[in-house]
A and B are shown apart, each in its own frame.
Chain A
Amino acid sequence: MTGQPQAVDFRTGDIPTPDVIILTHKLSRDYHLGSEVVRALRDVSLQIRRNEFTAIMGPSGSGKSTLMNLLGCLDTPTGGEYWLNSQKVSELDDDELARIRNKEIGFVFQTFNLLPRATSLHNVELPLIYAGVKAKARHERAVAVMERVGLGDRMQHKPTELSGGQRQRVAIARALVNNPSILLADEPTGNLDSHTSQEIMEVFEGLHEAGQTIVVITHERDIAAHATRQIHLLDGLVEQDFTTEKTA
């Protein structure tokens, strides 16, 4: 534990500085269950800078999945602001959110979520297809990123022909292929054994060293330990937020 991350005061109407990739200002999300209102996230204000490797932790029900959905532009907040890479995304409509997800966010899921009928190369090309990149450029970029995660020899394999670790590497390649502002990983090692988990976290560390901003949602302390900053949520509020020395 090496102390609180520095954050500039932010007020409604301000524009975040360019080095702040993620900024939430009093971000909240309420769910209506019948007549009851569940406040899953209560006025959370966060700033994550470029090239930070952040772990968001918390027990189930703490609001970390809600935060992850909001940060990933899969959901819209009921209150507050969300700025991603200097764009205010908390008020965008569905199609604009789809574009933001495509260009700015790379998702890595616990269950990989690869398309089973497509080859790993085609899976990696998918975001580029929706970005409208031409076939040749698409192929080149997908091949390059596959080689970067060490799967240059598995490009024509289908997901079912790959191990869990390889599948997650394909998913990471897919997340990276559009050069997103943030890599958003939701329990990326939840379905992997400890040895493979270690390998995947090393991939993340490598990406972090190369300058990638990464947010990992996890409930495992030793996974969070790979990050340079940990944010602990409890009952929809930030309970702890501190930077760490990376464990060697």
Chain B
Amino acid sequence: MLSGEILQVAFQSIVANKLRSFLTMLGIVIGVGAVITMVALGTGAQRAVEEQIQRLGTDLLSVYAGQSFRRGVASQDRVSLTTDDADALRRDGYALKAVVPELSRNQQVKYGNRNINVNVLATTADYPEVNNYDIEAGSMFTYGDDDSRRRVAVLGYGVPDMLETNGAAMIGQQISIRGIPFEIIGILAEKGAQGFSNPDEQILVPLKTGQFRVFGTDRLRSINVQVLHPDSMNVAMIGIERVLRREHGIQPGAPNDFQIRNRTEFLSTAQETTQTFTFLLAGIAAVSLLVGGIGIMNIMLVSVTERTREIGVRKALGATRSNIMLQFLVEAVTLCMLGGIVGILAGAGGAVALAKLQGWATVVSPQAVVVAFVFSAVIGIFFGLWPARRASLLDPIEALRHE
């Protein structure tokens, strides 16, 4: 019964002072809205980084040819990574699932009467699996194709576009790489640009075919290594280092002439950065919510003063201190929660607008919405408590005499 009265009076009071209630609520709306938008922005950035990590694979290491040193002088002519290194890793590496050597050069490619210059990558048959590529059409070449040095090619998703041709129609057709005819047997699915390189704009050929028929060299650009489990990354790296130092005959204490890179390393740094960024944005937005809360407190104090007479009457008619306190507390919380709801809608709208207009990744997470809503209620309680307490402690005689 009493709760009905308390809610009714709270709404009456909010409606009776429409403009004032609206302006007070605006503080909360802006605060909550800002928090929602900022958190959505931060979450979106984080999500994008996570997706990128997933796309790269969390269990991949790359070994690159580095500088070799002879008597402390950097040398250019030494072959740092060869197919023999890849074989050694495959044979002696520890906790490795797959070793994928990559031998690549930009080559002149001709299809029909069209000419393009594109990256040709000679690699093994497990390249798509290790690097998370799907096959769009046709199939990948096999280890058998590799061993028999067959002239078959698998095109990246972007290549048919570069050749201004329909992809599916190219399967079974001839393409010439550096004047050597290849049969097109498959097309990879789209992966999307990653940083500086576009992995969709390349042509895959079997490693040995590339080594002996196209490039005439066994100098690898890199060896990609898939470890058995993301947790065994460090052991695997130590194993790779050991094997390659032995293969290259590097003296103890001499520096490596290769580099081992964990591909996700720089991305986890990026992830930490975006997380800090999210907290920072949310923190700044929370300040505006705090200011909104102070606005609520201010207006509730005004309301208590204005309604001193009413408080006196209610006390004379039998309202207890807690009745009066609850009355004003509910009013403050109602104001805040209404502001919170509008703020959530405005914030979500803002996030969507940013995504649409600026192309920024934003994610309005349900947790953020719930937290913002609960937080606005808490703001109402926190900033409503003192005015409500003041109201409840009013002396009824003084209150009834108040003009």
Contact = CB atoms under 8 A, between A and B. Distances in A.
A168 interface: no
A134 B3 CA distance: 12
Contacts of A127: 317-318
Contacts of A74: 315-316, 396-397, 400
A134 B1 contact: yes
Contacts, number: 66
A135 B1 contact: yes
Given A74-B397, A117-B16, A95 B320 contact: yes
B1 A109 contact: no
Given A95-B321, A98-B321, A113-B316, 13 more contacts: A94-B320, A99-B320, A101-B316, A101-B317, A107-B317, A113-B400, A127-B317, A129-B2, A129-B5, A130-B2, A130-B320, A135-B1, A138-B1
Interface string B318-361: 11111100000000000000000000000000000000000000
A131 interface: yes
B309 interface: yes
Interface of B: 1-2, 4-5, 12-13, 16, 309-310, 312-323, 396-397, 400
A205 interface: no
A207 interface: no
A195 B13 CA distance: 36
B34 to A, nearest CB: 34
A107 B16 contact: no
A103 B397 contact: no
Interface of A: 69, 72, 74-75, 94-95, 98-99, 101-103, 107, 109, 113-115, 117, 126-127, 129-135, 138, 174, 178
A103 to B, nearest CB: 7
Contact of B320 (A98, A107, A126): A98
B317 A126 contact: yes
A113 B322 CA distance: 21
A75 to B, nearest CB: 6
Contacts of A132: 1-2
Contacts of A130: 2, 314, 317-320, 323
Contact of B318 (A69, A75, A131): A131
A94 B322 CA distance: 11
